[in-house]
Amino acid sequence: ACEGKGVSKHIWVIPFPACGHILPLVDLNHQLLLRGLKVTILVTPKNLCYLSPLLSLHSPSNVQTLVFPFPSQSSLPPGVEQMQDLPISFVPDIATALGKLYDPLFQWFQSHPSPPVAILSDTLLSSWTTKLACHLNIPNISFLPFNVRAVSSWFGKLNIMPSFYTEAYMASIQSWGLVFNSFKELEGENLDIIKEKFTRHDRVWAVGPLLPAKAGDRGLNERGGPSSIPPGQVMAWLDSCHVDKSVVYVGFGSQITLTKRQMKAVASALEDSGVRFIWAVKDPMKRVQDGDDDQSMIPQGFEDRVAGRGLVIKGWAPQVAILRHRAVGSNLSHCGWNSALEGILAGVLLLAWPMQADHFHITKLLADEFGVAIRVCKGLRSIPDSVKLARIFVDSTSMARPERVRAIKLQKTALNAIRKGGSSYQALDKLIEGLSS
Ligand code: UDP
């Protein structure tokens, strides 16, 4: 691995274009900028919108964008530059397409009057970004927006993983440094495993939960692009819910679309439970794989039947603003790491329906080890029992649930970790120190 010598203050950021990856990396950049670093961020045109909170908050002399056209890749539908339009099996195709930027990026670096001193790149792109960093004789820092528990398990199984992931994680392990969006109080043991068993150095930093770059209400509403419904309307609806923690938020992140039967089960449960709710229904993905035409179908008449009591958002929802509203008490979620952390920071009870990737590890951590989540269902294709689910919805709005009490405790611990002097705050300082030494 390259050594981090002669590092000053301009770094080069290479995000992976999935919401769950680029959003926390933007938040990390905000922290780095606040601490005096300058950044140049590589994006393709359709991902420029994710950078707007940063660009509006920081001076153009400190945050620059490097926009390259998305390289053509025959296995991807034309015009697609973002994972949101694709099933997870397309991760390697997106990474391979972006890897075609290697030569233009090398040339850009060579001709830059004051080139960056380090690369900060998403782990999914590590297999080529670490090579680029070595070639340019600068260190690579790998950003891993997964929970540490999952990563330590994956690192231990590299020999049986698909070759794309083996190469990417191997390159992450060999990077100069590794950054996690997690915190010591939650995942300290797993961080130690990563250091002791895999990296064998200490440049492994847990700097989370990263706060959204723009913490004001408007900023939260812009997170990840424009909301599909005027955010003011959502907030007004939540304001009209007078009982604190009485609203259930149902959202499955940016990658998961439910099948027709899953939609039906969730809809019945919401209808029968009588609870107030917001349901964010993701737009269907591009039909690239199995021609599943039934994604995201809201059962006929459902919205009329729950009118006033429930709000259905079709498309992008202002999730962080919703979770932070005092009226929201629980979140039926696929357990994406960002959603889980956003829920923890908001003191919202997680109703876990893990689907893929690191979701099962997250459920184990939060439901079984920390007792701050309730298991509801599991698996990408499973269909929950709507009667049981309705009962869980009702139950989840009760203040007496021990999981809720523990969730509120964990919220405090998380907030302390990112406060001045907290574990994540100190880790960020150390990361910057490491870069500057
Ligand atoms: N998100 C959002 N609105 C939506 C769907 C998702 O703001 O309608 C955000 C959510 O707040 C989170 C990210 O997108 O920050 C999704 O990341 P996560 O790790 O939870 O799940 P993934 O999308 O990667 O499966």
What pLDDT is recorded for position 302? 96
- The reply to whether 85 belongs to the active site is no
Q: Which two tokens stand for residue 246?
A: 């009485």
Amino acid at 253: G
d(CA 19, CA 339): 11
Q: How far is CA 78 from CA 18, 22, 82, 85, in A?
A: 17, 21, 11, 11
- Evaluate whether 296 touches 284 at the Cβ level (below 8 Å): yes
217-399 matches 10-212+420-432 in CATH topology: yes
pLDDT of residue 423: 98
Spatial distance between the Cα atoms of 8 and 332, rounded to a whole number of angstroms: 44
Judge: domain 10-212+420-432, CATH 3.40.50.2000: yes
Å from CA of 23 to ligand 1 middle: 8
**Contact assessment for residue 112 and residue 142, using Cβ atoms and an 8 Å cutoff:** no
Note down pLDDT in tens along the chain; length 437 residues.
Answer: 333 343 448 999 999 999 999 999 999 999 999 999 999 999 999 999 999 889 999 999 999 999 999 999 999 999 999 998 888 999 999 999 999 999 999 999 999 998 999 999 999 999 999 999 999 999 999 999 999 999 999 999 999 999 999 999 999 999 999 999 999 999 999 999 999 999 999 999 999 999 988 766 555 667 887 788 888 999 999 999 999 999 999 999 999 999 999 999 999 999 999 999 999 999 877 655 555 557 888 999 999 999 999 999 999 999 999 999 999 999 999 999 999 999 999 999 999 999 999 999 999 999 999 999 999 999 999 999 999 999 999 999 988 899 999 999 999 999 999 999 999 999 999 999 998 77
Atom number of ligand 1 nearest to Cα 313: 8
Would the CB of 342 count as within 6 Å of ligand 1? Answer: yes
CA of 83 to the centre of ligand 1 (A): 12
Tell me how far apart the alpha carbons of residues 252 and 266 are, in angstroms, rounded to a whole number: 12
- Nearest atom (ligand 1) to Cα of 357: 25
User: Would you state the pLDDT for residue 413?
Assistant: 98
Distance of alpha carbon 285 from alpha carbon 84, whole angstroms: 7
Question: What spacing in Å lies between the alpha carbon of 17 and ligand 1's midpoint?
Answer: 13
Which of the listed residues 278, 338, 361 should we mutate to test ligand 1's pocket, taking the one with most ligand atoms within 8 A of CB?
338
Tell me which of 254, 285, 296, 316 to substitute to probe ligand 1's pocket, judged by most ligand atoms within 8 Å of the beta carbon.
254
Q: Which residues pair with 188 in a beta bridge?
A: none
Nearest residue by C-alpha to atom 23 in ligand 1: 254
Decide if domain 217-399 falls under CATH 3.90.550.10: no
pLDDT of residue 294: 75
Q: Nearest to residue 195, comparing CAs of 204, 208, 187?
A: 204
Instruction: Exactly one of 122, 334, 358, 361 is catalytic; name it.
Output: 122
253 close to ligand 1 (CB < 6 Angstrom): yes
Q: Which residues contact 73 (CB under 8 A, 6 or more apart)?
A: 93, 94, 96, 97, 100
Q: Is 236 exposed, middle or buried (0-12, 13-18, 19+ CB in 10 A)?
A: exposed
Instruction: Clarify whether 21 is annotated catalytic.
Output: yes
Domain ranges of the chain: 10-212+420-432, 217-399
**Distance from the CA of 355 to the center of ligand 1, in angstroms?**
14
* Residue owning the nearest CA to atom 2 of ligand 1: 319
Please report the pLDDT score of residue 381 as a whole number: 92
Residues in the chain: 437
Cα–Cα distance, 295 to 261 (Å, whole number)? 9
DSSP letter at 307 equals B
What's residue 289's pLDDT?
Answer: 52
ipTM: 0.99
Neighbour order of strands in the sheet with 310-314: 310-314, 276-281, 247-251, 328-333, 349-352, 373-375
